[in-house]
């Protein structure tokens, strides 16, 4: 399987482990050690992930893609929430636009911060509408992680 691979534990109240490789992600339940939700997308390769704490609804799973896009998912239903954000696909044209880091500012904002190796900018992206709400320059080189 080509592309980035990774895993990320969900918050304790979700009780799951997310694994992703290439264009496939799986949500494994801790208690049963079984796949509860899975998704496969041949047109994307997932490169970063983070969890958004529950606001009005439940937790949101956010995935960054090698194409520079950002997707928000309902982890219980395995459904995409809103329109995927074009994010770095538009900003870093012709460069390495893969999303390398995602960080949640908090549940009430409805956004996620995203980083990319191809540009020193950090974007704040709306989860449901996919719009870039803001950006700032974090230095002179691309960014590999956000905390």
Reported as a single tens digit per residue, the pLDDT across 56-110 is 778 899 999 988 999 999 988 889 998 899 888 877 666 688 888 999 887 778 8
114: tokens are 């995203």
Contact of 111 with 126, CB cutoff 8 Å: yes
- Whether residue 134 is predicted with pLDDT greater than 80 in this model: the reply is yes
Which pairing describes strands 99-103 and 111-116: parallel, antiparallel, or unpaired? antiparallel
Using a 10 angstrom Cβ sphere, with 0-12 exposed, 13-18 middle and 19 or more buried, the burial of residue 135 is middle
Between CA 132 and CA 85 the distance in angstroms is 8
Between CA 115 and CA 143 the distance in angstroms is 6
| Location of structure tokens 């995927």 | 84
Q: Residue 146's CB: how many other CB atoms inside 10 A?
A: 17
Between CA 107 and CA 146 the distance in angstroms is 17
Contact of 130 with 85, CB cutoff 8 Å: yes
Torsion angle in degrees (nearest 10) through CA of 65, 28, 50, 130: 50
Contact of 50 with 112, CB cutoff 8 Å: yes
Q: Among 12-16, 52-56, 70-74, 113-117, which is the least confidently predicted range?
A: 52-56
Between CA 8 and CA 28 the distance in angstroms is 11
Answering whether pTM is above 0.85, one says yes
């Amino acid at each position: 399987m080509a592309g980035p691979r990774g895993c990320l534990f969900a918050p304790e109240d979700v009780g799951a482990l997310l694994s992703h490789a290439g264009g496939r992600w799986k949500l494994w339940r801790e208690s049963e050690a079984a796949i509860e939700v899975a998704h496969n997308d041949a047109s994307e390769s997932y490169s970063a992930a983070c969890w958004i704490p529950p606001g009005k609804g439940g937790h949101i799973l956010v995935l960054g893609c090698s194409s520079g896009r950002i997707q928000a998912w309902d982890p219980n239903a395995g459904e995409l929430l809103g329109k995927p954000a074009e994010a770095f696909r538009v900003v870093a044209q012709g460069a390495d636009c893969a999303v390398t880091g995602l960080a949640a500012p908090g549940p009430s904002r409805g956004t996620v911060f995203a980083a990319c190796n191809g540009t020193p900018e950090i974007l704040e992206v709306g989860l449901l509408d996919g719009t870039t709400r803001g950006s700032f320059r974090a230095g002179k080189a691309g960014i590999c992680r956000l905390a």
